[in-house]
Amino acid sequence: MRNWMRERMKRRKKKTENESEATGKVGQQKPPVDAAHPEPIVPTYDEMPSGSPEEADAPVKEERRMETEVQPESPSTPPPGPPEQKPAAPAGRTSTRPPKGVVVLAIGLPGSGKTTWFKRRGVTPLSSDLLRSILFDDITEQRYQGLVFSTLRSLLRARLIARMPWNYVDASNLAPHERRQWIKMAKGFGYEVHAVFFDVPLEVCLERNRKRERQVKEEMVQRMAAKLKPPTFEEGFAKITVVRVKRAGEQA
199/28: higher pLDDT? 199
CA distance 110 to 108: 7
Share of the chain above pLDDT 70, in %: 63
Q: What is the pLDDT of residue 162?
A: 96
Residue 111 contacts residue 208 (beta carbons within 8 Å):
yes
Confidence of residue 142 (pLDDT cuts 50, 70, 90): confident
* Residue 43: pLDDT over 50: no
Confidence of residue 138 (pLDDT cuts 50, 70, 90): confident
Minimal CA–CA distance to 187: which of 130, 67, 103, 83? 103
> How many Cβ atoms from other residues are within 10 Å of residue 197's Cβ?
23
Average per-residue pLDDT for the chain:
76
User: 246: which strand partners?
Assistant: 72
Where do the domains of the chain lie, and which CATH numbers do they carry? 103-246 (3.40.50.300)
Q: Which of 44-58, 87-101, 134-148 has the highest mean pLDDT?
A: 134-148
Helices (H), the chain: 2-14, 53-56, 114-120, 128-136, 145-161, 176-188, 202-211, 218-227
Give CA separation, 198 vs 24, 34, 242, in Å.
62, 70, 6
Confidence of residue 92 (pLDDT cuts 50, 70, 90): very low
* Residue 36: pLDDT over 60: no
CA distance 173 to 178: 6
Q: Please write the tens of the pLDDT for every residue from 159-194.
A: 999 999 999 999 889 999 999 999 999 999 999 999
Q: What is the pLDDT of residue 191?
A: 96
Confidence of residue 214 (pLDDT cuts 50, 70, 90): confident
Q: What is the pLDDT of residue 69?
A: 73
* Residue 28: pLDDT over 50: no
Q: What is the pLDDT of residue 33?
A: 54
CA distance 10 to 2: 13
Confidence of residue 50 (pLDDT cuts 50, 70, 90): very low
- Is the pTM higher than 0.75? The answer reads no
Q: What is the pLDDT of residue 34?
A: 60
* Residue 57: pLDDT over 80: no
